[in-house]
Structure 1
């Protein structure tokens, strides 16, 4: 069954355009033009509560309490949007829950991850910004990050934690942005994560020049350390057998542990996934070397390197699901 599904998807050779964009501090209109052009996709993530005045006020208070350093940036960005709900959306504290695949591992000062999602719902924007400090990462939800690194040599990425629960708190996308904007080391970032309310179970892998760690977070658990720096789509509790059949999370975790930080392994099953119609197809592989300030994004047929020293805006249309 799996081989048939993978083969059929690969034959379709879906295409996805990824863009690299430089935003600076977000004040010169480049961020606003990019975001407003993609607003129809972004606003689909808003909950009904977040569209009300009461919901917007609650989101603002939560943001001010937990991410005060980013409040001036939020106001700077929201002031450029031509829509009343922009400021509420940018808190990323009132989004509908979203669930994805993904596999990641950290070791030896590198962070390697596959991001698995639906191609039509993935923004596909590699961003270089200097909101509070230099950050490069794969953006989603206007200024949130799926993964990224900063100029201090810290890199972070996320995977869905596998439990379909939802509570008050932030989408993890803005949490990764916050960690990279305000932290220099893994220890600092883990310390901040302990007090941040996160709406959906997530696994966060963090890497600096000294260590690599994965932690489990969510609305119903305290921050919990993983046994190593690897993660797929479950936490300290295993997923049900029927969920494993769809997500293959235990199989992927075993595979990434056995392979280590190996790009070639990430571009092949079981780590490379083909179930795009089920929101479980691999969109890209990212290989961060944060101490060098470099990241390379891989697809089966090509790669694209970016760095703080030589960030190159542009676009690439790549084949998804294609085999080498």
Structure 2
């Protein structure tokens, strides 16, 4: 049994006008029909997705149009709204504490695009790309950092896929309070947990298509929310034990040292948003066994890193 090897890329995509972003969108969304719901593949569904985007993310409409003009497929243009996406579920673990956001990707490496992007759509943002122009996590030039995890309940409703919601929050908000306020008004398609950190505050919130936004007691999250899940589902996802391992008030960061950091095959991301450094020089660091890659908004370094993540036979259980 050999090591699993994966190459991660760091790319600059600017404001999306020069084709670099669209090229990666096309690659990530090569088969938009595999991502879209049945409704999203109809003209009526596409129009509804566009209307939802215009209503809730008006600031990003010029960016959406800029990217859509570079895509030939009408379905790909609909997919950019991330408002008619099939539900997808994967695990993560994250902790916010004293200006630091630490998160682990608890899923198979093949399911991670492995692209770290530096963009300047509305403001400078660095993060781990997901679904073309969405983000699994990221930090902006104001020092706001956010990340997501699956909420542990197999529920689906009208709303946005969370990677695009994270993109929107980082593009339009400067603080945790602003971002939490934004989350209260944004419809999301599946249950998700979002951890948000700025130099003064860290918080985790539970969101979903069937619940109001709910603040968690700690700024820690695995793949579990405040609502129970069926026993059969829990036997498969084991979200409860993961949530209990990462929870614990001021003990969160200490618990993370044993629950998150020694990940067997998964990349670990850390966003440090406080301290004497100005926001543009605060680091975003990606960790793998024996290796790390640090970026800042002011000092982003395009390139590639090929890393050995673990044994190829690892089953990637949480």
TM-score normalised by L of structure 1 = 0.87
Matching residue of 1:122: 112
Matching residue of 1:70: 60
Q: Aligned equivalents of 1:43 and 1:204: distance in 2?
A: 28
Alignment of 1:174-323 (within 5 A): 174-257=164-247, 260-261=252-253, 264-265=257-258, 266-268=260-262, 272=263, 283-291=266-274, 292=279, 293-321=282-310
Q: Aligned equivalents of 2:238 and 2:157: distance in 1?
A: 25
CA RMSD in angstroms, aligned pairs only: 2.0
Q: Aligned equivalents of 1:159 and 1:244: distance in 2?
A: 16
Q: Aligned equivalents of 1:81 and 1:180: distance in 2?
A: 24
CA contact (8 A) 2:104 2:269 kept: yes
Answering whether residue 110 of structure 2 is matched by residue 110 of structure 1, we say no
State the Cα deviation string for residues 68-95 of structure 1 (Å, max 9, x = none): 0000010011111122222211000010
TM-score normalised by L of structure 2 = 0.89
Structure 2: stretches of 5+ with no match in the other structure: none
Q: Aligned equivalents of 1:68 and 1:43: distance in 2?
A: 25
Over 3 Å off, 4+ runs = 238-248, 257-265
CA contact (8 A) 2:28 2:131 kept: no
State the Cα deviation string for residues 110-157 of structure 1 (Å, max 9, x = none): 000011223333211100000000000001111001000100110000
Q: Aligned equivalents of 2:33 and 2:271: distance in 1?
A: 29
Structure 1: stretches of 5+ with no match in the other structure: 1-10, 275-281
State the Cα deviation string for residues 253-305 of structure 1 (Å, max 9, x = none): 3333466336753232xxx3x6xxxxxxx531111013453111111231111
Matching residue of 1:37: 27
Q: Aligned equivalents of 1:179 and 1:235: distance in 2?
A: 21
Query: How much does 1:32 deviate?
Result: 1.6
Query: How much does 1:245 deviate?
Result: 4.1
